[in-house]
């Protein structure tokens, strides 16, 4: 499992448990199965209403990808591009074709095949850019589904709160104290469940998926740059150093981008308050 995910899950559970035990006399009273089912069921139902069945089922299947510790090894791609560049210098087309069969990255494999087939550079760039754009759009749509679920969960929490309050007001006239207490618990806990699901499950998953997409796009862009340099018959050393610099620059920009985004969100939240 990804260390940051594990730390976040354990830290969140510890803080939540401490807050409950320090502020609630009977922690078991915070468990309201009907309220939880209402929020979870309503969120899932609204998600299925909003998106095609295939997209929602695909998104649910990526939970394990978000949780696991997945590293992106761009160094291997750089070494493979450099190796192909050396073979290209020797004019060993057969050896390059043999090398292509050992490349695991399908994007890189396609690009090199296009180069040795003497495909015009503009066509190679256009095709690879199209594949990058398609991947970016697909994964952005997947992250958006989780953000949509994060907006639905608190909304259904509020709906549950309203239902509980309506029932409670009805019980006041009937003088049914036990039923009134039950409806009040439902009214308050559904909002709690909705906020908890939105901010500890759905939003974090969306953010992690977006960061993963940014890294994958950077690696694909680096590979495309390497393929263009191969097409231009640049030297292996030049290609290797250029691609390493490309990735270093991206990592700096990615860190800066997310830092600025976090600051902007904090400022925006303060303005709204």
What percentage of residues in the chain have a pLDDT greater than 90? 40
Q: Is residue 118 part of a domain?
A: yes
Q: How far is CA 99 from CA 83, 234, 241, in A?
A: 9, 19, 21
Of 120, 101, 73, 72, whose CA–CA distance to 227 is shortest? 120
Mean pLDDT check: name the lowest of 93-97, 137-141, 175-179. 175-179
Q: Mind listing the pLDDT tens digit for each residue in 124-137?
A: 999 999 999 999 99
Q: Is residue 47 part of a domain?
A: yes
Of 65, 89, 250, whose CA–CA distance to 146 is shortest? 65
Shared-domain flag, residues 154 and 245: yes
Q: Is residue 67 part of a domain?
A: yes
Read off the pLDDT band of 187 (50, 70, 90). confident
Contact 149, 202 (CB under 8 A): yes
* Amino acid 193: pLDDT: 92
* Amino acid 30: pLDDT: 72
Cα–Cα distance, 118 to 163 (Å, whole number): 68
Read off the pLDDT band of 270 (50, 70, 90). very low
Shared-domain flag, residues 25 and 36: no
Q: Is residue 219 part of a domain?
A: yes
Shared-domain flag, residues 66 and 144: yes
Mean pLDDT check: name the lowest of 51-60, 140-149, 170-179, 189-198. 170-179
Contact 221, 74 (CB under 8 A): no
* Amino acid 51: pLDDT: 93
Token pair of 194, please? 């909705």
Range of the domain at 193: 31-251
Read off the pLDDT band of 27 (50, 70, 90). low
Cβ atoms within 10 Å, residue 82: 20
Of 74, 76, 89, whose CA–CA distance to 230 is shortest? 89
Q: Is residue 51 part of a domain?
A: yes
Residue ranges in the chain assigned as alpha helix (H) = 3-23, 33-50, 53-60, 63-67, 74-90, 93-100, 106-116, 121-174, 177-197, 203-231, 236-272
Q: Give the global pTM.
A: 0.77
Cα–Cα distance, 221 to 243 (Å, whole number): 10
Shared-domain flag, residues 3 and 96: no
- Of 82 and 72, more confident: 82
Read off the pLDDT band of 110 (50, 70, 90). very high
Is residue 65 pLDDT above 50, yes or no?
A: yes
Q: Is residue 229 part of a domain?
A: yes
Cα–Cα distance, 259 to 42 (Å, whole number): 34
What percentage of residues in the chain have a pLDDT greater than 70? 79
Shared-domain flag, residues 92 and 193: yes
Q: Mind listing the pLDDT tens digit for each residue in 215-225?
A: 899 899 999 99
Q: Is residue 188 part of a domain?
A: yes
Q: Is residue 115 part of a domain?
A: yes
Is residue 208 pLDDT above 80, yes or no?
A: yes
Shared-domain flag, residues 1 and 56: no
Shared-domain flag, residues 222 and 246: yes
Shared-domain flag, residues 51 and 73: yes
Identify the top-confidence range among 30-34, 126-130, 158-162, 186-190.
126-130
Shared-domain flag, residues 73 and 199: yes
- Dihedral pair phi/psi, residue 115, rounded to 5°: -65, -45
Contact 96, 84 (CB under 8 A): yes
Shared-domain flag, residues 14 and 66: no
Report how many domains make up the chain: 2
Shared-domain flag, residues 179 and 104: yes
To the nearest whole number, what is the mean pLDDT of the chain?
82
Q: Mind listing the pLDDT tens digit for each residue in 139-175?
A: 999 999 999 999 999 999 999 888 878 777 776 766 6
Of 38, 63, 60, whose CA–CA distance to 51 is shortest? 60
Shared-domain flag, residues 13 and 101: no
Read off the pLDDT band of 67 (50, 70, 90). confident
């Amino acid at each position: 499992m990804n260390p940051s995910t594990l730390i976040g899950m354990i830290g969140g559970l510890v803080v939540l448990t401490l807050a409950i035990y320090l502020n609630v006399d009977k922690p078991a009273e915070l468990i309201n199965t009907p309220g939880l089912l209402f929020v979870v069921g309503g969120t899932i139902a609204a998600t299925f209403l909003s998106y095609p069945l295939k997209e929602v089922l695909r998104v649910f299947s990526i939970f394990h990808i978000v949780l696991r510790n997945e590293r992106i090894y761009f160094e291997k791609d750089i070494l493979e591009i450099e190796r192909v560049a050396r073979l290209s210098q020797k004019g060993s087309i057969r050896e390059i074709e043999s090398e292509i069969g050992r490349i695991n990255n399908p994007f890189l494999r396609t690009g090199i095949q296009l180069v040795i087939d003497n495909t015009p550079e503009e066509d190679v760039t256009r095709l690879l850019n199209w594949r990058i754009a398609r991947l970016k759009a697909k994964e952005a749509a997947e992250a958006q589904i989780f953000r949509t679920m994060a907006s639905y969960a608190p909304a259904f929490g509020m709906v549950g709160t309203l239902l509980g309050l309506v029932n409670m007001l009805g019980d006041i006239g009937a003088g049914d104290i036990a039923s009134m207490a039950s409806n009040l618990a439902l009214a308050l806990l559904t909002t709690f469940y909705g906020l908890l699901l939105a901010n500890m499950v759905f939003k974090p998953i969306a953010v992690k998926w977006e960061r993963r997409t940014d890294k994958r796009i950077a690696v694909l862009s680096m590979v495309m740059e390497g393929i263009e340099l191969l097409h231009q018959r640049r030297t292996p050393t030049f290609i290797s150093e250029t691609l390493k610099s490309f990735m270093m620059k991206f990592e700096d920009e990615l860190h800066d981008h997310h830092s600025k985004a976090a600051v902007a969100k904090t400022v925006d939240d303060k303005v709204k308050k």
